[in-house]
Amino acid sequence: MDEDTSIDTPFANLPEFVKEHKIRLKKFKEIEIQAGAKDKDDRSLLTEAMQGVKAINKRKKRIINKPDTRRLKADLPKNSQKLLEEAIQENHKLNVTNLPEYMEGYTEGVNSLTMEKLKSGEFSVQETLDLHGYSIDDAGKLFEFFIRDAVRAGLHCVKVIHGRGLKSKHAPVLKENLKTWIAKAMHRKWVIAFSNAIMEDGGPGATYILLICKPVNKRIHFIG
C-alpha cells in the first residue's frame, strides 16, 4: 500500500458506484446517544451486582492451616511425655501392693528387709504348685502335701499359682481358701511369710511362700 493511500480509499468512489448501478439506499433515522448514558448503565449494573458485598478487613484476615500431626508429640507437656516414656519401658514394673486384691502375711519377728525382698521377687523360687483346674478339696490336699514335701526337702522359697478368680461370680475361691491353708501351715510353724508375686511372675494370681525348717511359735500378721 502506498504512503498516500488512505484506509478510506476503497470507499472513495462509493457515491458514483451507487449512482451508476442505480442502487437505492434505505434512509436511517439518526439516533443520538447521549453522552455518558452508556457509562451510566454500566455503573448501575455494577452497583446492583455488588449489593450485599462487604469489604474484607485485611487486619482481621487469618490463615487456617491443617494440624500437623508430627507436632503432637512435641506439644505434650514435658511431665506427660516423661510419664508416657516410663510407662512403655520394658523394665517398668507395676507395684502389685497397690492393687486391692493384694495379700501378704508374716510371723512376728520377720525382718522388714526380708519382706521387701520377698515382695520384690528377689528370692529364687525353688518349686511351683499350679492349682488351676482343681476342686477346693483336691487343691487343699495338694497344697498340704506340697508344703510338707518342700519343708522335708529343705526348700526356703516356693510359689503357688491359684489365679485371680476374675471369672468367679463372687470372691476368688482358690485364692481365699489359700489364705486359710497358709494360716494352718503358719500355725504349724512351716511358713514364716508370704506375699503375692510380682507381675512378671504371676502378680495377684500367684503367691510366694517363705518356709522355715525349725519351727518357732510366733504371732501371725495378715494383710489383704
pTM, to two decimals: 0.56
Which of 38-47, 48-57, 139-148 has the highest average model confidence (pLDDT)?
139-148
| pLDDT single digits (tens) 166-196 | 665 555 688 889 989 998 888 778 899 999 9
Q: β-strands 127-130, 206-211: how paired?
A: unpaired
The number of beta carbons lying within 10 Å of the beta carbon of residue 222 is: 13
H helix runs in 108-220, sequence order: 112-119, 136-152, 173-187
Q: β-strands 127-130, 157-161: how paired?
A: parallel
| pLDDT single digits (tens) 73-122 | 555 556 665 655 555 454 445 566 667 678 899 988 888 999 999 999 99
Question: Helix 136-152 crosses helix 173-187 at what angle (to 10 degrees)?
Answer: 40
The pLDDT, as a whole number, for residue 80 is 61
Q: Which residue segments constitute the domains of the chain, with CATH numbers given?
A: 99-223 (3.30.1370.110)
Is 137 in a helix, a strand, or coil?
Answer: helix
The pLDDT, as a whole number, for residue 91 is 45
Which is nearest to 197 in space by CA: 159, 142, 147? 159
Q: What is the mean pLDDT of the chain?
A: 75
